[in-house]
């Protein structure tokens, strides 16, 4: 599941995973409120989460998701990649943190590893 208000990011992620067997993007939502509704009805294995979203902070969303759904893997994918945000997201339970501009391709490695772990 992608939680990011940028359709370009969603498209880039879909292109990254489209030929990878066993990985499906089941939703892209633009706000924390929409993400919570979706999670309540269909819990994803992985959430790709931006920090800056309309109607709420990705950091607060991360904190709440990890309290209620600790088994969901959360990958922070943001342009706010300085040490402050990395530490804050780690503190609130982010499993991974990648800079959108420099580490985007690492997302695929994590998704493949997660798929392999879940299929065991």
Q: What mean pLDDT, rounded, does the chain reach?
A: 91
All structural domains of the chain with their residue ranges: 2-111
Structural class in CATH, domain 2-111: alpha beta
Instruction: Look at the block and give the residue holding tokens 């800056």.
Output: 52
Specify the pTM: 0.92
Question: pLDDT-derived band of residue 18, with 50, 70 and 90 as boundaries?
Answer: confident
Per-residue pLDDT of 53-99, as tens digits, reads 877 789 999 999 999 999 999 999 998 888 999 999 999 999 999 99
Chain center to CA of 112 = 14
CA distance 114 to 111: 5
CA distance 15 to 33: 26
Chain center to CA of 53 = 13
CA distance 9 to 42: 22
């Amino acid at each position: 599941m992608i939680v990011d208000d940028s359709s370009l990011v969603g498209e880039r992620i879909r292109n990254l995973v489209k030929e990878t067997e066993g990985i499906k993007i089941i939703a892209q939502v633009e706000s924390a409120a929409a993400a919570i509704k979706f999670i309540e009805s269909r819990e994803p294995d992985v959430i790709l989460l931006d920090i800056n979203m309309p109607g709420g902070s990705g950091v607060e969303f991360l904190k709440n998701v990890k309290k209620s759904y600790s088994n969901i893997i959360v990958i922070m994918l943001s342009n706010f990649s300085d040490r402050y945000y990395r530490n804050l997201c780690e503190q609130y339970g982010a499993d991974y943190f990648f800079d959108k501009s420099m580490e985007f391709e690492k997302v695929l490695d994590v998704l493949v590893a997660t798929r392999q772990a879940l299929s065991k």
